[in-house]
Amino acid sequence: MSDIATLEVNGQKYDFPLIKGTENEVAIDIKTLRGATEGIVTIDPGYKNTGSCESGITFLDGEKGILRYRGYSIEDLAEKADFLEVAYALIFGDLPNKEQLDKFHTDIKANSIVDDDVKKIVDAFPKAAHPMGVLSSLTSALTAFNPSSVDVSSEEEMYNSVVKILGKFPVLVAWAMRKKQGLPLDYGDSSLGYVENILKMMFKQPNEEYVQNEILVDALDKLLILHADHEQNCSTSTVRIVGSSHAGLFASLSAGISALWGPLHGGANQAVLEMLEAIKEDGGDTKKYMAKAKDKNDPFRLMGFGHRVYKNFDPRARIIKTAADEVLADLGIEDPILDIAKGLEQEALNDEYFVKRKLYPNVDFYSGIIYRAMGIPVEMFTAMFALGRLPGWIAQWREMRLRKEPIGRPRQIYIGKNLREFTGINER
Ligand code: ACO
């Protein structure tokens, strides 16, 4: 294959180098396009064909259903690693040895106290506030309480910001949930593992000892690992682009949380459960909802189906489906919602509309079922996704800063009015 792509515009030819990744993905490097052609840009709404960066963090092949973090397969990581090891690998490049992991965890624990004044902000939110809005605001507010986290010019300063947010974010997630439930806002227990501590912070009742349930610890660990990174998705691209202005890690993450909130992205896990509930309330007629999903005049979409990148299957969905079966069996839960989910899945997998468009269940189709079995309220599902995605966002932000990427600033093609005369208010 030649390593040059040639573009011809109005009889004039321009050459652009091809660049190849370590997994042989090829891109046309158009960095010089606008300068060479005196103003021509590319347009690609939704960035379906546009690579925004070169990255060494996550590899995925949507056709083959492959997902790897730092070269490690998602199947291996979900089975053999814990969330903190995966977080370390994502952020720093390799799985940690015992000493590195211990230091990482110790530093995170040392930074897990959130200024008590943040509770006043939590108090000011109405109980009905969506936890994602609360989380995004609190994460941004952390900047004010930790101003040194913004101007990070050395790797050491970056490291300090990273362990701070890894320590404090689970506290904020727990507070966002407990606020809704009218429970006291508490700090974690630094004698516990990272994931055990999260569960205790979320579920501890003020008048009872909290007893860890290993099934829940394992299930949450796996869910967080499966959500930990997914290369340049909507929220990650948001984190990178906000961070590219050197706005600071916490502000960038806050923007990422807002991007994740949308039902076409992380909000889908909440939407899936609400959809399954609605189908159950409506008599459990999955065929009716299949027909609605296929009807172009009906805005309804089968939530938890389809993916921008996976056009074969979502490898995370495969792992999570098995985990959902195990967790429900271990906890002895029989959930009619699961039967509806399985029915919908079978119908969709055999339906021409879905087969033709390569629409398969994605990770969110099953994650909500596990969260529900764990006793996590539906409105918290996307916040749990954010908790899992945190190391991925951090890794991507850190990579972008270390590579000294330029500020993100796309171009456009203007399609508005041409110059026109100003008219005074009485003449309009
Ligand atoms: N139900 C019914 N039809 C669908 C669905 C669905 N869930 N998803 C896609 N389609 C159809 C579209 O109507 C379109 O049909 P057409 O070609 O006849 O017009 C075709 O499939 C392609 O869909 P696009 O929207 O162009 O695909 P895109 O890659 O832009 O969108 C997305 C991907 C947003 C995930 C989409 O499949 C969707 O809305 N799914 C439901 C929401 C969801 O589950 N989101 C979670 C994504 S995973 C994550 O964020 C972790």
Tokens of 252: 């960038």
Nearest atom of ligand 1 to the alpha carbon of 230: 51
Give the other-Cβ count within 10 Å of 306's Cβ: 21
Which numbered atom of ligand 1 lies nearest the CA of 296? 13
Residues marked as catalytic: 307, 364
Instruction: Give residues (CB < 6 A) around ligand 1.
Output: 264-266, 268, 293, 301-308, 357, 359, 362-364
205-215 burial, b at 16+ Cβ within 10 Å, e below that, comes to: eeeeeeeeeee
Using DSSP's 3-state secondary structure scheme, residue 277 falls into helix
User: For residue 59, how far is its CA from the centre of ligand 1 (angstroms)?
Assistant: 22
The pLDDT of residue 322 is above 90: no
> pTM for this one?
0.91
* 408-423 mean pLDDT: 97
pLDDT tier for residue 298 given thresholds of 50, 70 and 90: very high
pLDDT attached to residue 119: 95
Residue 62 · residue 23 · CB < 8 Å: no
pLDDT digits (tens, 9 = 90+) for 17-30: 999 999 999 999 99
Could you report the per-residue pLDDT of 361-371, keeping only the tens digit for each? 888 888 888 89
Distance of CA 300 from the midpoint of ligand 1 (Å): 11
**Probe target for ligand 1 pocket from 294, 308, 387, with the most ligand atoms within 8 Å of CB:** 308
CA of 34 to the centre of ligand 1 (A): 33
The string over 352-378, giving b where at least 16 C-beta atoms fall within 10 Å of a residue's C-beta and e elsewhere, is: eebeeeebbbbbbbbbbbbbbbbebeb
Considering only CA atoms, which residue is closest to atom 16 of ligand 1?
A: 357
Ligand 1 nearest atom to the CA of residue 306, by list position: 37
Q: Where does residue 181 rank: exposed (0-12), middle (13-18), buried (19+ CB within 10 A)?
A: exposed
Mean pLDDT for the chain overall: 94
- Asked whether the beta carbons of 225 and 84 are under 8 A apart, the reply is no
Q: Whose CA is nearest to atom 37 of ligand 1?
A: 306
Q: What is the mean pLDDT of residues 275-292?
A: 92
Q: What are phi and psi of 308, to 5 degrees?
A: -60, -35
Nearest CA to ligand 1 atom 31: 308
Phi-psi region of 32 (alpha: psi -120 to 50; beta: other; left: phi over 0): alpha
Mean pLDDT, rounded, for 393-416 = 96
**175-204 tens-digit pLDDT:** 999 999 999 998 889 999 999 999 999 999
